[in-house]
Amino acid sequence: MEASPHFDFRDVLLAPAKALSAKKIFVMTIFLCGGLLIYDLFAYLAVAVDSERLASFYSVYGLVPLTSLTFSSWVAQVLYALGIVAAVLLLMLGFFGVSAINIEEMRGNRFFSVGGAIKFSLQRFTQLFLSELAVALFIVFIVLLVLLLGLITRIPYLGEWVYALFFVIPNFIIALFTVFIIFVMVVSVVLLPAVAAAERHGETFAAILETFSTIIRQPVRWLVYTVYALVAAKVCGFVYAYFCYRAVQFLTYSASLGAGGKVWRLLKSGISHLPANSPLVKETFNVFPGIDWSFSVSAWMRGAGNEAAGYLMSVMLFLIFASIIGYMLAIVATAQARGYVAIRYHKDSYKIPDESPLFFEEEHVNPPVEESEQGISSEEQS
């Protein structure tokens, strides 16, 4: 069992170290890759529906078109939007899995496996989906009411007076409340999985209530924890990326002592199939935005071969890069989980670590033999 939490910033301060765990990085990377795969599938499907050439689209945007895309047909727009929603939900499942591992650790279960975390995340998909859907439907309901108000405004002479009369109360108040709900829905992408992971029964309403309660009652504390998590994730992610870069370099150099330049050509062939010069890669290999302190793999892109194994090498290199992003996101998820535990204590005086683990039961221990023999002898005497 890990040390008792302090229920303050010190718990969140250790998030980079707590997230540097093989199972946490693996869980986050698995769902990250799944989200990218779903996003790619829907994006290219939307391109096909929009009667665009897939080869031309691939030559411009590459394998992972992480940019804002526009389509002419509404069917393609819907498919693209569904891809984004599905990718975000899978990303939330990754946040949930990492948060669940952290919550179980704080409850005393340090043996929560990768398979158990992935299975638990998939089981709670309905809770996360329904929570987001409920908030989204409420926002749609408000939009429909405003649409109705717009129709009333079209009434000659009377409509304009009605709109002006009720502009502040209740229309402006409702609009202000709706903007706050939209803000909570955006931040719930990182907060809701932590709240749901700490909720024992998988209740949708409880997860929504605790998410809003955290933002309303402890906004400054949550904001400080989140800002620190984002900064720490970027800086520590750069350090992890640099070690990955040197590890690949060391592995290739050591192998080249026996294989010659063949392994270097294979490495360059693998990188040539990846968008190594994309803005995402450049920012990942830079310590922080606005600070020019980085490293580059562009030198490995020159002199690439045409080996068929280069495509497999590109997959391996992509997984290494995905683990870097996975570690950064795991830091955010870890900070959210441990920060929520602290916030719940300050908000409700409730200690989540005092709960029993969901996936661990202590083994039954028989009483000492001496006590058993004394008990038997006392029964015989009686």
Give the confidence band of 50 by pLDDT, cuts at 50, 70, 90: confident
Radius of gyration of the chain from its Cα atoms, rounded to whole angstroms: 26
Are 229 and 337 spatial neighbours (Cβ–Cβ below 8 Å)? no
Q: Is the pLDDT of residue 333 over 70?
A: yes
pLDDT at 23: 96
pLDDT at 203: 93
User: Cα–Cα distance between 270 and 248 in angstroms, integer?
Assistant: 12
pLDDT at 262: 87
Query: 295-324 b/e with 16+ CB inside 10 Å = b?
Result: eebeebbeebbeeeebeebbeebbeebbbb
Q: Tell me which of 179-188, 227-236, 285-294 is least confident.
A: 285-294
> Using one digit for the tens of pLDDT, what is the confidence trace for 282-321?
999 999 998 989 998 888 877 666 778 888 999 999 999 9
Partnered with residue 288 across adjacent β-strands are 291
Give the confidence band of 215 by pLDDT, cuts at 50, 70, 90: very high
pLDDT at 70: 83
The secondary structure of residue 16, as a DSSP letter, is H
Higher pLDDT, 157 or 335: 335
- Over residues 91-103, the mean pLDDT reads 97
User: Cα–Cα distance between 64 and 43 in angstroms, integer?
Assistant: 9
- Over residues 214-233, the mean pLDDT reads 97
The predicted model scores a pTM of 0.91
Residue 61 tokens read as 């945007």
Q: Tell me which of 18-27, 40-49, 117-126, 368-377 is least confident.
A: 368-377
User: Cα–Cα distance between 285 and 73 in angstroms, integer?
Assistant: 37
Give the confidence band of 379 by pLDDT, cuts at 50, 70, 90: low
Q: Quick one: what percent of the chain has pLDDT higher than 90?
A: 70
pLDDT at 374: 56
pLDDT at 332: 98
pLDDT at 140: 96
User: Cα–Cα distance between 56 and 60 in angstroms, integer?
Assistant: 6
Q: Is the pLDDT of residue 368 over 80?
A: no
Higher pLDDT, 191 or 63: 191
**Any idea where the domains of the chain sit in the sequence?**
9-354
> Using one digit for the tens of pLDDT, what is the confidence trace for 100-110?
999 999 999 99
Give the confidence band of 72 by pLDDT, cuts at 50, 70, 90: confident
pLDDT at 362: 57
Helix (H, G, I), strand (E, B) or coil at 24: helix
Strand positions, DSSP E, the chain: 286-288, 291-294
pLDDT at 381: 55
Higher pLDDT, 156 or 65: 156
Average pLDDT, the chain: 90
User: Cα–Cα distance between 342 and 103 in angstroms, integer?
Assistant: 12
